[in-house]
Amino acid sequence: MMSIQLSHYPSAIAQAAQRVNEIDSQLMAVHQQINRFEGNADRVAAFEADLKNDSQRKSRRFEVLLTNQEYQKAMDMQMRLTGDKANALAQLEYLRNQFSVAKLEARLAIAQQLTDFESRELVGL
């Protein structure tokens, strides 16, 4: 566990928050790509005349998506980015908590110094 100087926490927290935002932006782009693939699969299934019912159309949609390598890559990317975002959020929360602890420790040190100073004054040092 690396300790950061108190004054460096705000920038470290800002960088961690920026990382979460970057991953979130990538996730939104991948989600849009997945939606396009799914929309295309829906269109293919909807306009095939030999499909008689909704169950057959859903099955055809699934086949179209299953054979689309780009769709599979996008789904894999979405899963990876979701994990990355969870880790980035955990890191952000960790830094925020460490900052709170560091502030409390600094306040405690100041209070102890004041107490020591007052004690010495009482004794006449």
The model's pTM: 0.79
Residue with tokens 């690396």: 2
Token digits of residue 124: 């006449």
The confidence score (pLDDT) of residue 26 equals 99
Token digits of residue 9: 């926490």
Write the single-letter amino acid at 111. A
Task: Categorize the per-residue pLDDT at 118 as very low, low, confident or very high, splitting at 50, 70 and 90.
Answer: confident
Q: Residue 64's closest CA among 89, 39, 98, 41?
A: 41
pLDDT digits (tens, 9 = 90+) for 50-76: 988 999 999 999 999 999 999 999 999
pLDDT digits (tens, 9 = 90+) for 13-32: 999 999 999 999 999 999 99
